[in-house]
């Protein structure tokens, strides 16, 4: 069939719709930030990447946008009357794009049953299933990295393939520059293999680097975005290796043994079985098979040593290795149909089905558990809208929790806030500001706060003075669930703070 890929694509779209509608909640809080930023590009102009909304973030000082290309691409979604519907539709498109791109990467590698391996990728772990429905550039750029790997390993590389590789490089750098190190690592691994085999293919690497350079430059303030990428990758790793207790999102925390047994064990069994079969059959894989295995080992090490987000690359590379191994052991020209006539073959088939069933059950079970703690799409809407007439435009609102910024910014972009996006950006601007915010966010501060990592009575200082001088805060936004003690402190000093709004979940104080 000439268009045999249309049926898998239709199924991927249906799955994307289902996964993004199992709950009314939004999987990623950054979705609100991304769409509102795109809205500003559409309404205010495409060449202004300044970001004055996070007053204590280095992003404001540098005035660059790491995700510029993604924001430009999603501007059509800002025409929805209710922007929440733009997020919902965008989430479906993101999931569909990630699955489809990975599917075409497998087709490019000429593996058997590419649709099956795409489903295996999706149902491999709850982390993969959860992050693939996030309305953010990460799922798409991760899938593009796998497509780049497929083109890089398909030798000989034609001129048309080089043009496509250049386009991939452009899109990754344009949409998500700080993730460009992933395909660079892939390129370095393949280049080392070529040098070892004394058969260097330089055109593909040059095409990718050229496209990547164009994607980096195709934005306002390209040199500023390099600084942000350095902070988000290098400085973040440096600070984490120094055991500084920075507060990050869950995906930036390392995997632990419990995560392995709960999520990765079935997939590891598949990988181990595939390696054992190759050894037993004394079969040799293509270069793509060995490189995908090597890279998957590197990323699972990074998942346990640095951040669980590395699983986003361990799994697809591991799936590629499995697909290439299966295709090698059961080539279509020899095994057009599978026959299980012996009792041993039947037992193997039963074991495989049981393992696949168990993996899928565990993934869906944990995925549903994740969705319980996802973000309500209209959270903070009531507070933001009902305080518009009480808080003047451009007032600075102290928000102690960085993960509240996206929704506050989404619902009332006329205000300014303290921090948003990754906390490393606030730390990079001013560690003192970060620690003052940290102790309030943990509900450990009261009348006294501290701007150091380790505090003593001698280093404590007036919270009110810090709010006025360090943050120039005009108002304070707090949730009852996360900051009950700090709310009680604010109430105890009516000469410094006056409540101007309160509902059953949130409170807003004016700093006098």
Tokens of 469: 């001088």
* Band of residue 1 on the pLDDT scale cut at 50, 70, 90: low
Residues forming a β-bridge with 448: 462
Categorize the per-residue pLDDT at 298 as very low, low, confident or very high, splitting at 50, 70 and 90: very high
* pLDDT level of residue 295 (50, 70, 90 thresholds): very high
CA–CA dist 18, 8 (Å, integer): 15
Average pLDDT over residues 85-95: 96
Q: What are phi and psi of 54, to 5 degrees?
A: -110, 90
Residue 167 half-sphere exposure toward CB, CA atoms < 13 A: 8
What integer pLDDT is reported at residue 23 of this predicted model?
A: 86
Do residues 161 and 61 make contact, with C-beta atoms less than 8 angstroms apart? no
* For range 21-29, the mean pLDDT: 89
Q: Which residues pair with 499 in a beta bridge?
A: 509
CA distance 148 to 443: 46
pLDDT band at 332 (very low <50, low <70, confident <90, very high): confident
Quote the CA–CA distance of 164 and 206 in Å, as a whole number: 12
Q: How far apart are CA 46 and CA 52, in angstroms?
A: 16
| Number of residues assigned to the chain | 512
Tokens of 423: 């906390």
Q: What pLDDT, on the 0 to 100 scale, is given for residue 317?
A: 96
Please write the tens of the pLDDT for every residue from 344-375.
556 666 777 777 888 888 888 888 888 888 88
Say if residues 73 and 110 touch (Cβ distance below 8 Å).
Answer: no
pLDDT computed for residue 164 by the predictor: 95
Q: Mean pLDDT: which of 26-30, 327-331, 452-456, 465-469 is highest?
A: 465-469
List, in sequence order, the alpha helices (H) in 373-450: 381-386, 405-411, 424-429, 431-441
CA-nearest of 210, 163, 440, 181 to 309 is 181
Question: How many CA atoms does the CB half-sphere of 494 hold within 13 Å?
Answer: 1
CA Rg, the chain, in Å? 25
Rounded Cα–Cα distance for residues 261 and 63 (Å): 43
In sequence order, what are the beta bridge partners of 354? none
DSSP 235: I
For tokens 């299966």, the residue is 326
pLDDT of res. 19: 94
Q: What percentage of residues in the chain have a pLDDT greater than 90?
A: 64
Please report the pLDDT score of residue 407 as a whole number.
94
- Cα 436 to Cα 294: distance, rounded to the nearest angstrom: 43
Q: In the prediction, which pLDDT does 200 show? A: 79
pLDDT tens readout for residues 467-511: 999 999 999 999 999 999 999 999 999 999 999 999 989 999 999
Say whether pLDDT at 342 is over 60.
no
- Greatest alpha-carbon pair distance for the chain in Å reads 85
């Amino acid at each position: 069939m000439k268009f045999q890929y249309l049926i898998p694509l239709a199924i991927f779209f249906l799955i994307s719709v289902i996964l993004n509608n199992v709950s009314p909640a939004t999987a990623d809080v950054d979705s609100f930030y991304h769409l509102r930023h795109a809205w500003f590009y559409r309404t205010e102009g495409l060449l202004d990447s300044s970001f004055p909304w996070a007053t204590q973030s280095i992003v404001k000082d540098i005035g660059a946008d790491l995700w510029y290309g993604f924001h430009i691409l999603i501007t059509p979604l800002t025409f929805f009357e209710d922007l929440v519907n733009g997020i919902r539709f965008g989430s479906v498109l993101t999931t569909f794009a990630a699955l489809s791109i990975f599917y075409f990467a497998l087709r490019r590698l000429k593996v058997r049953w590419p649709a099956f391996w795409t489903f295996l990728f999706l149902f491999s772990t709850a982390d993969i299933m959860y992050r693939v429905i996030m309305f953010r550039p990460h799922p798409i750029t991760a899938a593009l990295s796998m497509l780049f790997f497929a083109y890089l390993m398909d030798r000989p590389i034609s001129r048309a393939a080089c043009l496509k590789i250049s386009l991939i490089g452009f899109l990754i750098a344009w949409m998500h520059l700080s993730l460009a190190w992933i395909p660079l690592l892939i390129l370095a691994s393949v280049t080392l293999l070529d040098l070892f085999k004394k058969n260097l293919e330089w055109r593909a690497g040059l095409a990718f680097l050229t496209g990547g350079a164009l994607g980096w430059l195709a934005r306002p303030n390209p040199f500023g975005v390099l600084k942000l990428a350095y902070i988000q990758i290098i400085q973040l790793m440096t600070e984490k290796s120094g055991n500084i207790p920075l507060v990050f999102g869950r995906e930036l925390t390392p995997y632990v043994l419990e995560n392995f047994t709960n999520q990765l064990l079935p997939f590891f069994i598949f990988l181990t079985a595939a390696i054992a079969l190759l050894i037993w059959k004394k079969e040799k894989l293509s270069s793509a098979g060995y490189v995908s295995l090597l890279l998957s080992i590197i990323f699972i090490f990074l998942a346990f040593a640095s951040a669980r987000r590395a699983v986003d690359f361990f799994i697809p590379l591991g799936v590629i290795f499995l697909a290439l191994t299966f295709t090698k052991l059961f080539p279509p020209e020899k095994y057009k149909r599978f026959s299980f006539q012996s009792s041993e073959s039947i037992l193997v088939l039963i074991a495989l089905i049981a393992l696949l069933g168990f993996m899928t059950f565990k993934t869906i079970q944990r995925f549903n558990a994740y969705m319980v703690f996802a973000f309500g799409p209209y959270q903070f809407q009531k507070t933001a809208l009902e305080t518009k007439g009480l808080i003047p435009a451009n007032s600075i609102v102290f928000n102690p929790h960085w993960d509240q910024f996206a929704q506050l910014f989404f619902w009332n972009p006329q205000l300014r806030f303290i921090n948003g996006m990754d906390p490393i950006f606030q730390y990079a601007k001013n560690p003192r500001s970060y620690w003052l915010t940290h102790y309030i966010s943990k509900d450990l501060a009261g009348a006294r706060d501290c701007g150091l990592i380790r505090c003593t009575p001698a280093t404590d200082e007036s919270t009110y003075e810090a709010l006025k001088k360090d943050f120039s805060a005009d108002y304070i936004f707090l949730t009852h669930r996360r900051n009950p003690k700090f709310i009680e402190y604010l109430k105890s000093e009516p000469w410094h703070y006056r409540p101007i709004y309160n509902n059953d979940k949130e409170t807003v104080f004016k700093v006098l």
